[in-house]
Amino acid sequence: MKNIYALILNLVLTLSAFSQVPYYYYQVPSGTTNNLYDIQNQYSTGNSNYICGANGILLHQNYPDSAWLPVITNTTTDLNGILHLKSNGNLNPFLLFGNNGIVPKSTNSGINWLQQYVGVSNNIYSGMYSGMLYYSSRYMAVGANGLIIRRYLVLPMDTSWVVIQSGTNKDLKSISYFNRYGWIVGANGTILNSIDTGNTWNPRNSLITNNLNSVSFLDSVTGFAVGDGGVILKTSNGGLNWIQKSSGTTQNLNYIYTQSATNLLIAGNKTVIYSTNNGETWILDTGVPQYNLFACSNINTHIYETSIPYFVGEGGKIFRKTLDSMYHLNIWTQLRPNNISAYFTRQGIFDQNMAITNTAGFEWPKGSGKKDI
């Protein structure tokens, strides 16, 4: 009998130890082995998600937790970025940014794609919507050899793409906007800043020579840039000055996602880093898949996990950081049949599709209709 009690005690202690790490990285099937470079949510509806990558790959998720399905893009060029524009009526326009000046556009929520004439052959890495007024909306993109291009959305049609002088021949990898303020980062520590909705761009001193791969701003003054060698930069004065923050890693950091001051997320090579205090300190996450991760975003999912982080990366890998079903908050229910104790917890899920009816589990108390699942 002592052995039985010892076994049960050991089981309870083991489960308690697991609860200290309540999340894990679940691999989601992608159906491809191509590298995946960007993931975006269709924010006008909140229910449709897209991933793009190498060799013209584009994946679409029709509704939360559904399968990722391929979309025909009519190109085999690497697609590096996705941009969902403000809806023009019910068109829900999207742009893809690819190598060799390829910029496919969809005006029906990503169902069909047509190639646009951009007028350049540079690789294009990233794009961003900007504009103070709906009728004078604009979108900009950045790319290799100092490329900046811009196009206006003037209802009911678009204008042509035009090249904006950047003042550099460095590769420009990422662009971020907040109202009329814009920021661009790129190779060898390049940072550019605009205060006139992108008409002119001025260099800012990053004090580093590492390649910068991604930039994102929370507002007009607070922003972050990440890059090779574990570099994290923060500005609190609109990009005039940048301060380096400790990342705890020397791995290349490829993408930063800024949902709020308490929800900052970085994807890197075999690395995920997060901050909950406006980027003052950063925490290396544990249990991260050992693949190079190129982008991340919070994606709407089923009702029990309204928005969770997704990561995309090399070899077609998609991961979501989800609640571990062993997590229990140390709240236990004790059963004592035949003087032998068993302990159950009501926290967590067991890898089920919550979008469909599922009544499996222990009913407790009996007749209550409440089930541990």
Residues of the chain with CATH 2.130.10.10: 24-323
pLDDT digits (tens, 9 = 90+) for 239-266: 999 999 999 999 999 999 998 999 999 9
Please state which of the ranges 5-9, 24-28, 77-81, 311-315 shows the lowest mean pLDDT: 5-9
- Running DSSP on this structure, what letter comes out for residue 12? H
For position 303, what pLDDT does the model report?
45
pLDDT digits (tens, 9 = 90+) for 98-113: 999 999 998 887 888 9
**Cα–Cα dist 317/308, whole Å:** 17
| Residue 80, helix vs strand vs coil | strand
pLDDT digits (tens, 9 = 90+) for 262-288: 999 999 999 999 999 999 999 999 999
Highest mean pLDDT among 56-60, 306-310, 349-353: 56-60
For position 336, what pLDDT does the model report?
47
**Cα–Cα dist 64/25, whole Å:** 17
Query: pLDDT-based confidence at 167, cuts 50/70/90?
Result: very high
**Cα–Cα dist 308/250, whole Å:** 26
For position 91, what pLDDT does the model report?
55
**Which residues, other chains included, contact 249 with Cβ-Cβ below 8 Å and sequence gap of 6+?**
230, 268, 271, 273, 284
User: Do 225 and 191 touch, CB atoms closer than 8 A?
Assistant: yes
Separation in Å, CA 235 to CA 72, 188, 192, 283, 336:
40, 18, 13, 19, 58
Can you give the pTM of this predicted structure?
0.81
CATH number of 24-323: 2.130.10.10
Q: What is the mean pLDDT of the chain?
A: 81
